Structure 1
Amino acid sequence: MHDFPSPRPVGPYLVRPATPEDVEGARSVMLDTFYREFGYGYVPAWHADVVDVRGTYLTGPRHLLLVAVHGDAPEGKVVATTGLLSRGPAHPPHPRWIAERYPSGSTAQLVRVYVRPGHRRHGLARTMVEMAADFAAAADYASLYLHTNVDVPGARPFWESVAKEIFDARSTGEHGPGFATVHYEIPLPR
């Protein structure tokens, strides 16, 4: 067993592991991102964790959901999320060699790294990614993997500042037309 990360203040925000009281706020951040940022909305095959936030993130000892809340009050508003799951990328849609390189069980997959537009550029995503990497290392994961849509403004420069690019899948169309998927690995602290 391992400990969940301790809360970290970031300016007027508090980044901490999610509680059951944060589920609706976290779900709102995720769904708003699908509809407003990505423009394709909820896709059941990709987003089942958003329907069952509690069961996906709050019950598994090797899973984690971090939230950033604005304000000092415990009832502060959730403005950002970052999830960590004990699974590697699935083939398909991802290339088989990536699925084999990052097998489920020994791979932590970083998901749902979303910050509401009015709260960006405050270090929230960077803090949450650092906390997730610390958690993954403490939970004895061998690697921390993620894929992202680099068409989202600021995504590519951010991920290149904290991760190593593994594969640029934009030419393969692995998620279909209009998806700019790039795969990354984040170094784990040891």
Structure 2
Amino acid sequence: MAISHKEWIIRRVTANDVAAALAFIIPMLHEVYPNIPDVAVRWDLANMEEAYVSQENSVMFAAFDNAGQVVGTIAIRPYDDRIEAVRGYYDLPGTAELSRCYVKSSLRRQGLAGVLVAAIESYCRQYGYQTICLHTHRFLPGGFPFWLSQGYMIRTERTEEIETVYMDKDVFIKHK
């Protein structure tokens, strides 16, 4: 599946794209979370091919500009009940966790993130996931309102320093 636009193309990240995706994601993490020193030290980033490329139930999509540079990403993996604030709430085989949704700052508010979300939701429906969960933070510029605009509902919130909001959306299409 590829989605084309005059300024970018969205497609599934392959093993050949891992370095380019990381070259985009790592600086984005430092931009978005400047006060979290180890924000880029995560298992999925250190093992990106295993996390998002080689597993059938996981995927990362990236938007590539006309020069072949990554300008946006979004990823999905099976949710593993790792988050205490929502532990026990989700049906684990039917729930995917959305992450790594970033868009190059000069391309924000132009619809790219919405197209990335639509791509990941389509993948989830095709794979058979029923629910997508995610977490965001109220301090992120535009993040929380964006997820609300995409139909994600608040499951719970934490009022700690980084104001984490846990959200989800039912993506399973019920046939009548």
TM-score normalised by L of structure 2:
0.89
Residue number in structure 1 paired with 2:166: 183
Among 94, 111, 114, the residue aligned to 1:126: 114
Amino acid aligned to 1:165: M
SS in 2 for 1:136: helix
Q: How far 1:115 moved relative to its partner?
A: 0.8
1:90 maps onto 2:82 in alignment? yes
Distance 1:135 1:90, change over 3 A: same
Give unpaired runs (5+ residues) of structure 2: none
Point out which structure has higher relative CO (alpha carbons under 8 A, 6+ apart): 1
- C-alpha distance in 1 between matches for 2:24 and 2:60: 13
Does 2:147 match 1:159?
A: yes
Give yes or no for the alignment of 1:56 onto 2:51.
yes
Task: Give the TM-score normalised by structure 1.
Answer: 0.82
1:14 aligns with 2:9: yes
- For residues 184 and 149 of structure 1, the distance between their equivalents in structure 2, rounded to whole angstroms, comes to 11
Question: When the two structures are aligned, how many residues end up with a matched partner?
Answer: 172
Instruction: Give the counterpart letter for 1:62 in structure 2.
Output: N
Q: Which moved more, 1:114-123 or 1:52-61?
A: 114-123
Partner in structure 2 of residue 25 of structure 1:
20
- Amino acid of the residue matched to residue 184 of structure 1? M
**1:168: how far off?**
4.4
The CA deviation at 1:163 is 2.6
Q: In the alignment, which residue of structure 2 is the partner of 1:81?
A: 73
Q: Is the 8 A contact 2:129 2:172 kept in 1?
A: no
Q: Deviations over 1:33-85 (max 9, x none)?
A: 221111114347x72101111111000001010000001x6xx0011110000
Aligned alpha-carbon RMSD (Å): 1.9
Tell me whether 102-111 or 78-87 shows the greater mean CA deviation: 102-111
Distance of 1:122 and 1:11 partners within structure 2? 12
Letter in 1 for 2:30: Y
Assess, with a 3 A threshold, how the Cα gap between structure 1 residues 41 and 104 changes in structure 2: closer, same or farther.
farther
Q: CA deviation at 1:20?
A: 1.7
Give the whole-Å Cα distance in 1 for the aligned partners of 2:11 and 2:37.
27
For residues 73-110 of structure 1, the C-alpha deviation after alignment (integer angstroms, 9 at most, x for no partner) is: 6xx00111100001144133xx1xx2212243221111
